[in-house]
Structure 1
Amino acid sequence: MLHLGFDVGSNFCKCVILRHNGSFTSEMIPTQGAPAVQLAALIHRLDLPADERIRVGLTGVGKELFRDTWKRHWISDVAATSAGVLHQNPEIRMIFDMGGEFSRVIQLAADGSVADFSMNGQCAAGAGAFLEQQAGRLRMDVTELGARAVEAPKAAVIAGRCSVFAKSDMIHLQQKGTPVDEMAYGLCLALVRTFASSVLAGREPLAPLALVGGGARNGGIVRAFLEVFSWTPDKMWLPEQPQVQAALGAALSACTTSVTFGELTAAVDALESAGEDRGADAYRLAALGPYPVSSQTADAELPEGITDVFLGVDVGSVSTNLVLLTRDGRILESLYLA
């Protein structure tokens, strides 16, 4: 009997089909802010017979889309990721999982059970979203950023604790003409240092260690981890498919109660329809009326003898400043907007 594991994440929906001999194949599709819709598209890709009986495991932030009897198929992200990693490498004692919105550290006991874990809070500064946001400032995607970071001779200094501070550092570095490769690697180092301080949070890294999630596919992130912890590559294990480890674990830990593939497809199609209906009701806004016109009028008169003025605008990273000058440089008005 096939085992199907689904990891409905913030950035991607992943599926693993696990066979009785332990081999598996995987499928992945971007979530694009519509997990039910994309999950339905992913399931229809599988093209299994409707009457085939399967065992199903569900994990990820989107598993809660499934309610009622499907709750028994739920598996925690930590348990699923641990199971997937240990299935391929039983020697692993710690897992760094770097996803799009969430990052976590999982410490494993000698018998493979979860001894401890920690994850980032609501802020995504220690997760992949930070890198995606900053890559946009360099007009590239995270794949290109990672490739550029690997080739950088050194890293630019960038704050990683907050994306606002990182943005200010990026603006300053760009104004100085800092090479893009150095900024790319500086961002990777900033992300890993934030991960170490806020997610690892004082724990001692234990080798052999597995790096999984989307971050494991980024060469700049891998290089940064090795540098921050002063490690050689043999101490860090990278699976061939780092983004599907939780889906693999969900398949391995699938509910013992089997269902038909047709039942699963019908359940997901119902989620898609319900999601569209709920969205239409919840987010339907009233049409905007005409923009209100202020009853106040500005005093357009200039001081006597002045016929020409010049407006200067400074759009900074945290404020916008305006100044009105005469031809000879005198300031008539100034305005600071935070």
Structure 2
Amino acid sequence: MPLASASSVLERTAPLYNRVSRFIPAFEWPAYADDIDAILRLKKERNAVILAHNYQTPEIFHCVSDLVGDSLALARMAQDSDADVIVLAGVHFMAETAKLLNPTRMVLISDTNAGCSLAESITAADVRALRLKHPGVPVVTYVNTSAAVKAESDMCCTSGNALAVVESLGVPKVIMIPDEYLAQNIAKQTDVEIITWAGHCEVHERFTPNDVRDMRDAYPGVVVLAHPECPPNVVAESDFAGSTAAMIKYVADNRPQKVVLLTECSMSDNVAVQYPELDFVRPCNLCPHMKRITLGNLRHSLETLTHEVLIDPSVAEPARRAVERMLAVR
């Protein structure tokens, strides 16, 4: 890039750098600035929006994204968007959910290998087998699943509304798939009997009760917030458990001077931007799938309109119904 051009890019992106300067050294910023500047231009040209999950890195979350949040928030935002192109800065099942709710719009994901251990833990055939084993029992499916699995389900849920979804069905027993720990944590909060599936998140399953105790010893007074995909014994050791949106709300409402978020580590960086006065302890469990999304491949995705997410209509229709039933639960 010519020197004058590089200088103008840095000037245009300087306000964005101010947002993330605690996490990106100044000497590294030029390596980010060109892609960020190009992405901002391409979004205008394409009438595109970028939806970013809370686990994206700060330069994506705070510098190029239009809408940010957890999976439930992104599902609702996707439905409300009037953009021609939706780019999902997250994993593949999230892009499929955006496509389900926006069937006439182009939905892109910049790396098709951005998967999810939970989504890969169960298939549509597995759901059909569960129905045969438990006839008449409704299936509640976590959104961290493929469209094919959603299509075999009665209703979807997220970690933020799972309890409300389970209880909205008004039945004594449900099948809740695929996250075993989420289902076990919800079961402790309801009289509904929950049949589980042995799927786990490769990030959250690594946390242990000893981790929590060690952090309390190392950082006296730390407030521990756990994601409900963590094992139940980890949730029991924590001060609060909730979805990523619920964690953020807890921080906003309570302003704990020292806090640890037991979830994917980029989220702490993103929340810390909003609350620089708080001390975030960072146990760094990375999601390898979320980290496949980069500024470079987001730029390439907008330049070339790849990779488009397409869903077979015979799958999309029942999967959409399951998601829409979820969205109707408040």
More strand by share: 1
Structure 1 length as normaliser, TM-score? 0.27
So what's the TM-score if we normalise by structure 2? 0.28
Structure with higher Rg: it is: 1
User: Which protein is richer in helix relative to its size?
Assistant: 2
